């Protein structure tokens, strides 16, 4: 083998020894786009799960308010009355709920109206944004719906 052949062989080996910068960048961009797509799908499901959890929490709170009403003759004036005995409830047999049950899936406190427009109690979550109204997961959730 001549000196020229050895040089040519080394040049060929150097070119074949690794990936080019362009190839590495293309792979990184592809991986990044896959991760971004997967993250949006996963995190979107999280808000939907919180929405379903909040609906279940509202149903549970309605049942706990009914138990309070049976014991005391009327629904509580505030949701906090399910946790700590108010002064106007001598037949209180609680606690009927815990503090952590008084917040929705996004950790916002529930709105509560003991004298709702339909004559019953109304428990309402303002959704993911914590504001009245909204679309999608930001939509208000209530037992009056």
Which CATH number is 57's domain given? 3.30.700.10
Long-range contacts of 137-144, Cβ-Cβ distance < 8 Å, separation of 24 or more: 137/47, 137/48, 137/50, 137/51, 141/51, 141/54, 141/55, 141/58, 141/104, 142/58, 143/58, 143/59, 143/62, 144/116, 144/117, 144/118, 144/120
Domain of residue 63, residue span = 22-142
Segments of the chain with pLDDT less than 70: 1-17, 44, 117-118
pLDDT of residue 109: 95
Overall number of domains in the chain = 1
Position 136 scores a pLDDT of 83
pTM of the model: 0.68
Q: Classify residue 10: in a domain, yes or no.
A: no
Q: Which helix (H) or strand (E) holds 125?
A: strand 122-125
pLDDT for 82 equals 94
Residue 17, in any domain of the structure: no
Give me 121's structure tokens. 């109690």
Note the pLDDT of residue 39: 78
């Amino acid at each position: 083998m001549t000196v020229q052949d050895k040089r040519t062989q080394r040049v060929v080996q150097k070119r074949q020894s690794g990936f080019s910068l362009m190839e590495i960048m293309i792979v990184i961009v592809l991986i990044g786009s896959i991760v971004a797509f997967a993250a949006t799908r996963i995190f979107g499901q999280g808000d939907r799960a919180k929405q379903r959890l909040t609906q279940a929490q509202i149903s549970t709170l309605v049942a706990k308010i009914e138990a309070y009403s049976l014991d005391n003759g009327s629904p509580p004036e505030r949701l906090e009355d399910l946790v700590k005995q108010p002064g106007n409830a001598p037949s209180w047999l609680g606690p009927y709920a815990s503090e952590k049950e008084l917040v929705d899936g996004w950790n916002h406190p529930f709105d509560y109206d003991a004298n709702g427009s339909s004559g019953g109690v109304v428990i309402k979550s303002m959704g993911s944004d914590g504001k009245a109204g909204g679309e999608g997961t930001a939509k208000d959730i209530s037992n009056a719906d």
